[in-house]
Copies of this chain bind each other. A is one copy, B any other.
Amino acid sequence: MGVQPRYKELAENLGAVTAVRRELARCLPHDCPAGAVTALMLLARFGEMRMSKLAELLAIDMSVTSRHVAQLDARGWIDRHPDPLDGRSRLLKLNSSGQELLDQVSERYTNALAASLGDWSDDDIGRLNELLARLRTSFAQAGITTRTPAQR
């Protein structure tokens, strides 16, 4: 197969991932939208950060990030304290309640994936992880240089 058809196929397959994510989201607690989990995962993985950094990691506009963060704060999953280096900024940090939620969600996600992918080999899951991680970075690098949400 030439590379052109592979790209076309990839575009179709990426569309199908949406369905998988939706399915996965069904196992979340009712007061916990999927977007919140994504943000919390990033705060868990990369630690304390500013709004603008989180927006960059999420690859969404800061205005949207701002609303998500306000929700996370309202639900008591993160703490916001002033950035000593810049009075305009606040630093975001996952707190113990958020960590607890994240642990619970991770367990549910893991169970849901195990139920669907039980017949996958460990290696295949690892390969998919590698390729998806690479896809993310490839797109992030290219995305910055093209047109994207406001601040870019």
Residues of A within 8 A of B (CB): 1, 3-4, 6-24, 26, 34, 37-38, 41, 45, 58-60, 106, 109-110, 113-117, 119-120, 122, 124-129, 131-136, 138-143, 146-148
Contact = CB atoms under 8 A, between A and B. Distances in A.
Contacts of A133: 13, 16
Contact of A114 (B7, B9, B21, B147): B7
Given A59-B23, A110-B4, A10 B139 contact: no
A137 B144 CA distance: 33
A7 B136 contact: no
Nearest to A18: B21
A51 B10 CA distance: 25
B17 A132 contact: yes
Given A6-B126, A7-B109, 6 more contacts: A10-B113, A10-B132, A17-B132, A23-B143, A116-B138, A128-B131
Contact of A23 (B10, B37, B113, B139): B139
A8 B45 CA distance: 12
